[in-house]
Structure 1
Amino acid sequence: MVTIKFHGGGLNLTKEIMGSRITRVFRNFNLENRVHKEIGKVKPLAAPRHSSLQNNETSELSESIHKKNDPLLTLLKSVYVESREPPAQDLQPKRMEAEVRRPLKFSLPGNPYGFMADIRDVPKGKLSIVEALHVLNQHKNSPKTWTPENLAQEYSLDLKDTKGLLEFFVPFDIKIIPPKSEGMKQIKES
């Protein structure tokens, strides 16, 4: 049941006819003519082949590929491959010299997340996450005291890596922007 009401000179349709019924009418409008028009269109042509790839040449290429080549076959028969297993000691991965490690300079108190319990030291040239945040904070708070050279020396880091760390990684920074005018209302914390 479709109810049509005339209201104020405009047409007002109820919710029953809105939605899918109207879209179906527009979608199926003149469908058969549109299909015939699309079928009747000229199909796109395939791109022309390169002039070097003509039918004669492609058939010659396929024949030359499948043709037996006696000189190459005799050369292949003369090849001798000898395979030996490497000794068992060579299969073991070579251990590098004892890795130089340094104790942690800074860590979180306690064991809040459970995965930091075993970490007591780190390899030289590396930082733990907590140390990295501490280094960034030190440099941010006093850049004249904690220069890249001082940080590299203190934490046994490469100077180039330290400069990259300080240049490209920024600790969280909160900026409070004051209101532009006094007339604007602000939300007050309660």
Structure 2
Amino acid sequence: MGARVVRMFRNFNLENRVHREISREKPLPAPRHAAAPRPPPPPPPPLKVSVRTCKNDPLLALLRTVYVQSTDPAAAAEVRLPTHSLCRRPLKFSLPVAPYGMVELTDVPKGKLTIAEALKALGGHQQQPQTWTPEKIAQDYSLDLKDTKDLLEFFIPFEVKIIPPKTENRITSSKTTN
């Protein structure tokens, strides 16, 4: 209740008071301080003739006697590559048709297998482990014996598990009639 009364007195004759304040003369601002003139910039330093800018004829003559011959390191690396016949072996097994439209290989680096060769070797070892021993596979495909043993131990290409269907306690659906 008191706020209403205060607001009434505060807003009473508001326009007259605003006009009186606007028409009153404004005070003059204080004069600005006179700035001192800036000092002139210092003159640039005199140019000195340095040893670097002068030609040194004896050093220039020695530089002309130097001859540098360089070769491209990439070209030198290509020259050092061994020929294909030394580190590659012919394929033992290949698919009759190029899979996925890829170009069929004719030889493989020693110590490597194609997918078809790996599947044939692993499948043969799985079906006939006495004939397809790790030593025979390593010798036939130019592989390391340790790597071949690890491959046969840890990589199983096909393992089919057939789960027999349960016949007992089978839930049959029955129709309900209303």
TM-score (norm 1): 0.47
Q: Whose RCO is larger (CA < 8 A, sep 6+)?
A: 2
- Specify the structure having the higher radius of gyration (Cα): 2
TM-score (norm 2): 0.50
